[in-house]
Amino acid sequence: MSSHPPSVAPEPAPERLFGRVLDNIRGGNLGSWPVLIGLAVIVLFFSFKADNFLSPGNFSNIITQMAGVTLLAYGVVFVLLIGEIDLSISYISGIAGVVVAQMTLPETGHQLPGLIAILLAVAVCAAIGAFQGSFVAFIGVPAFVVTLAGYQIWQGVIQKSIEDKGVIVIQDETVNNTANYFFSNTAGWIIAAVVCAVYTAGVLGGVLSQRRHGVAVRDPLFTIIKLVAVPVVAVVTVVICNRDRGVPFVLLLMVAALLVLTFVAKRTTFGRHVYAVGGNAEAARRAGINVARVRIIVFMISGAMAGLGGVVLAARLNSVDLNAGGGTLLIDAIAAAVIGGTSLFGGRGEVRDALFGALVIATIANGLNTLNLTQGVIFMTTGGILLFAVTLDTILRRRQRKAGR
């Protein structure tokens, strides 16, 4: 009689996936599901309540309205991942708008090509981020204080720079096209194909890398779902946009930034160091990670993304004025990252959270405007959702600690 234990049949893939979901819920790791479910409910509600909410034109409007905030929120995710905050991003974005406006203005005598002006604006904002991050990394000044001071300083710089003009009209077509250009129908399909190919290659590359290192893929079914879902979303998006003016350039910009920053966060040594510093900075330092360098680079990323978002926001208005970077921009950018699922306590979140959160905020604002409700209602609704997201994050943190994760 054989002494070998009886073999156990492997659990079917759907049951394994369902079991993993339940395990994550019990452990307080819900991922992006709450915001995606909430977004589906919001879209369903406004589709019945608001006329023309699901029209192709309104779909394109939501994309262009959320673009600037989304780009800022991408940078916010990195700052939150290390357990810090950047309160200066809104007026840093205003600095970018002023730079591209001034650098492309014929009257200044140093008119630059639009692309060069955009790159210069992003570089200036990245330098501002490095400057502020140095106070946090080397001196130990709390990021809240440093960036709050930056909030005031860069607001003052904007007003000082254009106080004699009040408003600067952006005349460069390249700059204005960052927010107002729409691709042809054919170009839209080509872009969708390229994005799907890049995404699929990234996912399959991750799977192959795991196999080479002898790591089994935990949920093949979940991987297949991702490989199918993203192309479906891309195709539906192009179909809808092509019924209006075409795929907006800002959508391509958001997707490209998402892919690049997700690669940085998930596939590079620097990205792993960011999560390590956010989880426990002292443990990361003892493990040999240069914590100061990580913090400075993170604030540079935050500044650069604020700069890129600022260019889009300025281009959308074709001008900059004394209030560039003001209003609810700061709150919206931070709220987008948090509502999307990035933790305020560091160490947990993904770049895509910013996209989902910004989409929720833009969809609510657009839907309420379609219903002709006041701006006050929009503020109260967004604030309530933000409070709910932070409360949920706090509860999940406690559950994770109890689960020993």
Provide the pLDDT confidence category of residue 9 given band limits of 50, 70 and 90: very low
The CA–CA distances, whole Å, from 43 to 50, 179, 313, 382 equal: 10, 24, 25, 15
Q: Which tokens is 315 given?
A: 């281009």
Note the pLDDT tens digit of each residue in 298-335: 999 999 999 999 999 999 999 999 999 988 999 999 99
Sequential DSSP letters for 300-311: HHHHHHHHHHHH
Torsion (CA) 106, 108, 110, 111 in degrees, nearest 10: -30
Note the pLDDT tens digit of each residue in 87-107: 999 999 999 999 999 999 877
DSSP character at residue 169:
E
| Record: fold of 49-181+250-399 | ABC transporter involved in vitamin B12 uptake, BtuC (1.10.3470)
With CA atoms as reference, report the closest residue to 82 among 290, 258, 288. Answer: 290
As a whole number, mean pLDDT of residues 177-185 equals 95
Looking at 93-166, which runs of residues are DSSP E strands?
A: none
With CA atoms as reference, report the closest residue to 42 among 330, 332, 381. Answer: 381
Cα 152 to chain centroid, rounded: 24
Sequential DSSP letters for 257-316: HHHHHHHHHHHSHHHHHHHHHHH-HHHHHHTT--HHHHHHHHHHHHHHHHHHHHHHHHHH
Helix-helix angle 269-279:249-267, to 10 degrees: 70
Query: In a 10 Å sphere around its CB, with 0-12 CB exposed, 13-18 middle and 19+ buried, how is residue 168 labelled?
Result: buried
Provide the pLDDT confidence category of residue 126 given band limits of 50, 70 and 90: very high
Provide the pLDDT confidence category of residue 12 given band limits of 50, 70 and 90: low
Dist CA 397 CA 27 (whole Å): 9
Note the pLDDT tens digit of each residue in 130-180: 999 999 999 999 999 999 999 999 999 999 998 888 899 998 999 999 999
Per-residue pLDDT at 24: 54
Is pLDDT of 390 > 50?
Answer: yes
**Residue 238 C-beta-side C-alpha neighbours within 13 Å:** 20
Lowest mean pLDDT among 32-46, 161-175, 186-200, 382-396: 382-396
With CA atoms as reference, report the closest residue to 95 among 124, 54, 66. Answer: 124
With CA atoms as reference, report the closest residue to 96 among 116, 127, 124. Answer: 124
Q: Which tokens is 325 given?
A: 């970077």
Dist CA 296 CA 135 (whole Å): 9
Q: Which tokens is 334 given?
A: 């931070």
Q: Is the dihedral of CA 125, 362, 260, 271 positive or negative?
A: positive
Q: Which tokens is 94 given?
A: 């205003």
Per-residue pLDDT at 8: 47
Dist CA 82 CA 299 (whole Å): 10
